[in-house]
């Protein structure tokens, strides 16, 4: 079964062709980073205009790279939410029109469901390539951690009958952020310190040169649900350590220097950061990562699962991956991540989730539309 996936929920226009939910034939992502970088964040109006420009060439490129004709595709999967409404509508309407014109089945996919399927897709590809021997085990606790989300789910498999070929996933929401998403906190701290956009990858690189113990942000305390998250406190703590100090002057100098340059390498940027700035970045990253690891593993323990999945753009973070692997091993659970290309927004994950829905017969009708807020699970 060949599924064409289309994703346009934020600032990436993406299309992919996935065979049988386990083999990526193509995975095309047109990033808009260069457009939004000067604003230090995604500008919704610019994002939807850019999606409009890119959607057709990106879908065509995905079909060409997969060496597939559109008539050979067995179904079209589109992201229906959550995300920026103008962005979502571009991909959704394009996919819907394509499916309608070619009389192909259409499925709507929740973006977060896509991130969860990225872990299963990576595992299936690894097994096909002989790189991984074990199948990803469900039920699993899954952390989806990105620029828009920080949510913990308990994911279970549902088979309509014991010998049924089609498998659906059931999602229970265990906790979520009450304010900033973790990736948003990375982006805002990077903006404050004039490190560029998106902030996650650059902080990940620079933090290697700082002392993560230098600033003690303390544990992030949560009243009520202990599996909820909050990152606005640590972000504000960084702001207070910068405002009115030499670090603020240094950030302004960096901003001025950056504005004269088209491209800045991480090494050049590091040379424009004092030790105190590098220490602050490393300590901030460590505090966020520690919180994500601890809450996810404690959710895993409470749910008595053998596996935790971690997906979304922040799951590219090298410290996060190392700490998850170390702590999960100590707890006797398996931690699984997609490879970086499947962690951040892409359409292969949407096609893989769509494959599952197509097999289960969960088809969309002509009323399918986009939703900016679109919770997954109860
Ligand atoms: O999943 P994604 O591509 O888009 C959303 O659905 O939000 O995630 C983008 C987010 C951004 O906030 C970016 O700063 C963060 O993921 N990110 C990282 C890293 N790479 C991307 N955060 C920390 N460390 C990284 N290496
Ligand atoms: Zn995402």
Sorted by where each starts, the structural domains of the chain and their CATH numbers stand as 2-175+339-359 (3.30.420.40), 182-305 (3.30.420.40)
The number of beta carbons lying within 10 Å of the beta carbon of residue 158 is 12
Helices (H), 260-317: 266-271, 275-303
pLDDT for res 81: 98
Nearest ligand to the CA of 292 is 1
Quick one: 327 exposed, middle or buried, by C-beta within 10 A (0-12, 13-18, 19+)? middle
**CA dist list (Å): 18 to 147, 157, 223:** 25, 21, 43
Which residues on neighbouring strands pair with residue 308, listed in sequence order?
A: 141, 335
pLDDT for res 160: 75
Residue where the block lists tokens 């991984």: 132
For 276, residues 6+ apart whose C-beta sits below 8 A from its C-beta are: 246, 247
Give the CA dihedral 106, 112, 115, 119, nearest 10 degrees. -100
Give the atom of ligand 1 at the shortest distance from the alpha carbon of 184.
12
pLDDT for res 5: 98
Taking the C-alpha atoms of residue 82 and residue 92, their distance in angstroms, rounded to an integer, is 12
Taking the C-alpha atoms of residue 121 and residue 228, their distance in angstroms, rounded to an integer, is 27
Best residue for ligand 1 mutational test, from 113, 344, 374 (most atoms within 8 Å of Cβ): 344
**What's the rounded mean pLDDT across residues 69-73?**
97
Give the atom of ligand 1 at the shortest distance from the alpha carbon of 197.
14
Taking the C-alpha atoms of residue 142 and residue 155, their distance in angstroms, rounded to an integer, is 7
Residue where the block lists tokens 């903006």: 191
pLDDT for res 162: 75
Q: Which pTM does this prediction carry?
A: 0.96
pLDDT for res 369: 98
Q: Is the CB of 151 under 6 A from ligand 1?
A: no
Query: Binning pLDDT at 50, 70 and 90, where does residue 163 land?
Result: confident
Taking the C-alpha atoms of residue 322 and residue 155, their distance in angstroms, rounded to an integer, is 23
Q: Is the CB of 201 under 6 A from ligand 1?
A: yes
Give the atom of ligand 1 at the shortest distance from the alpha carbon of 181.
12
Ligand 1: residue whose CA is nearest its atom 22: 200
Backbone phi and psi for residue 17, each to the nearest 5 degrees, phi listed first: -120, 125
Taking the C-alpha atoms of residue 307 and residue 300, their distance in angstroms, rounded to an integer, is 7
Best residue for ligand 1 mutational test, from 11, 187, 313 (most atoms within 8 Å of Cβ): 313
pLDDT for res 319: 98
Nearest to 2, CA basis, from 67, 81, 89, 87: 67
**What's the rounded mean pLDDT across residues 233-243?**
98
Nearest to 201, CA basis, from 32, 317, 322: 317
Q: Is the CB of 231 under 6 A from ligand 1?
A: no
**What is the per-residue pLDDT across 296-344, written as a single tens digit (0 to 9) for each?**
999 999 999 999 999 999 999 999 999 999 999 999 999 999 999 999 9
Nearest to 233, CA basis, from 245, 248, 221: 221
Which residues on neighbouring strands pair with residue 3, listed in sequence order?
A: 18, 75
Query: Binning pLDDT at 50, 70 and 90, where does residue 347 land?
Result: very high
Ligand 1: residue whose CA is nearest its atom 11: 147
**What's the rounded mean pLDDT across residues 115-129?**
97
**What is the per-residue pLDDT across 104-117, written as a single tens digit (0 to 9) for each?**
999 999 999 999 99
């Amino acid at each position: 079964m060949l599924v064409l996936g289309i994703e346009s929920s934020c600032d990436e226009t993406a299309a992919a062709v996935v065979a049988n939910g386990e083999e990526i034939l193509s995975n095309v992502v047109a990033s808009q980073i260069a457009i939004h970088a000067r604003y230090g964040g995604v500008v919704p109006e610019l994002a939807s205009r850019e999606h409009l420009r890119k959607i057709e060439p990106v879908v065509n490129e995905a079909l060409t790279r997969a060496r597939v004709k559109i008539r050979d595709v067995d179904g079209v999967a589109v992201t229906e939410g959550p995300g920026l409404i103008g962005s979502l509508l571009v991909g959704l309407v394009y996919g819907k029109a394509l499916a309608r014109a070619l009389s192909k089945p259409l499925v709507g996919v929740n973006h977060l469901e896509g991130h969860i399927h990225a872990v299963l897709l990576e595992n299936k590809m690894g097994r096909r390539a002989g790189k991984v021997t074990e199948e990803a085990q469900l039920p699993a606790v899954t952390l989806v951690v990105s620029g828009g989300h920080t949510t913990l789910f308990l994911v279970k498999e549902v088979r309509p009958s014991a010998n049924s070929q089609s498998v659906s996933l059931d999602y229970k929401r265990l906790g979520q952020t009450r304010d900033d998403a973790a990736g948003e906190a990375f982006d805002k701290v990077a903006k404050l310190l004039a490190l560029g956009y998106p902030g996650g990858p650059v902080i990940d690189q620079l933090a290697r040169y700082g002392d993560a113990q230098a600033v003690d942000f303390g544990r992030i305390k949560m009243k009520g649900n202990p599996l909820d998250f909050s990152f606005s406190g640590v972000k504000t703590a960084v702001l207070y350590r910068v405002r009115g100090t030499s670090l603020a002057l240094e950030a302004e100098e960096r901003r001025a220097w950056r504005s004269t340059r088209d491209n800045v390498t991480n090494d050049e940027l590091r040379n424009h950061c004092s030790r105190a700035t590098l220490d602050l970045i490393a300590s901030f990253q460590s505090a966020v990562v520690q919180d994500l690891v601890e809450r996810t593993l404690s959710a895993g323990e409470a749910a008595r699962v053998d596996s935790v999945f971690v997906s979304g753009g922040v799951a590219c973070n090298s410290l996060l991956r190392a700490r998850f692997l170390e702590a999960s091993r100590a707890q006797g659970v398996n931690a699984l991540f997609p490879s970086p290309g499947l962690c951040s927004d892409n359409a292969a994950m949407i096609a893989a989730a769509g494959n599952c829905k197509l097999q289960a017969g969960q088809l969309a009708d002509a009323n399918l539309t986009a939703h900016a807020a679109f919770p997954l699970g109860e």
